[in-house]
Amino acid sequence: MKVFLALMAALRSGEGRSCCLSMFVQFNWNSQRRAKPGGLWKWILLFVGFPLLELWLILKLGAVMGWGVTLWLILMTGVIGGTLAHRQGFATIQKIQQELGQGRMPAGTLFEGLLILVAGLVLITPGILTDSIGFCLLIPPIRKLICHRLVKKVGSKFQVPPGAPPASGARPAQNLDGDDVIDV
């Protein structure tokens, strides 16, 4: 404990400064709040904890149902899930082309396509939880609900304030009569 406190005192280099003591915990020296976990914990849980949980579930399933059935189940969910994702992916591509042909921006359909791609990726990954997540993403009502939330979240970050000039720098035409022709 004394070594830790000495290290903390040595790292403290100024008032109001945030520094990263390690890859895992970020401290704010002026704050009375507890330390908040850094972003690395999320990645460690995703790439180490989640596969360990998947392995544990596969081992438990193998002990209960037998290894042959477990292996067959893992292989078949990958094949069936890949086929479903392939079909739904092509249908989504056709829908995107149709919306673009009608002059509409297919934002929701693009997010649906992204979720179908994610579903296909997690379905070919062996595991019980990943297969459950993948099959849930292939169910259209669930996928539409997630898409609606994604479009709402992403769309709120790209709002153009009223009265802002167009992004290309073009100015709207002023003082044009009905007979004016603009050649481009």
* Mean pLDDT, residues 145-154 taken together: 84
Q: Give 125-149 pLDDT, tens digit per residue.
A: 888 899 999 999 999 999 999 988 8
Q: Looking at residue 183, what is its pLDDT? A: 64
pTM score: 0.62
Per-residue confidence (pLDDT) for residue 148, from 0 to 100: 86
**Ranges of H-type helices in the chain:** 2-11, 40-44, 50-65, 67-101, 107-123, 128-137, 140-157
Write out the two tokens for 106.
Answer: 């297919």
Long-range contacts of 137-145 (CB under 8 A, 24+ apart): 138/81, 138/84, 138/85, 138/88, 143/112, 143/115, 143/116, 143/119, 144/108, 144/112
Q: Count CB atoms within 10 A of the CB of residue 81.
A: 23
C-alpha–C-alpha distance, residues 98 and 110, integer Å = 12
- Percent pLDDT > 90 in the chain is 41
Q: What is the pLDDT of residues 67-118, one digit of tens each?
A: 999 999 999 998 999 899 999 999 999 999 999 999 888 878 888 999 999 9
- What's the pLDDT band for 53 if we cut at 50, 70, 90? very high
For the chain, how many residues are written?
184
Q: Are strands 18-20 and 25-28 parallel, antiparallel or unpaired?
A: antiparallel
Give the chain's mean pLDDT: 77
| Cβ contacts of 51 within 8 Å, gap of 6 or more | 127
Give the Å distances, CA to CA, from 33 to 39, 145, 151. 18, 36, 34
Rg (alpha carbons) of the chain, rounded to whole number: 26
The pLDDT score that the predictor gives to residue 173 is 56
CB 107 within 8 A of CB 151: yes
pLDDT score, position 88: 94
**% residues pLDDT > 70 (the chain):** 65
Predicted pLDDT of residue 41 = 82
Residue 1 tokens read as 């404990």
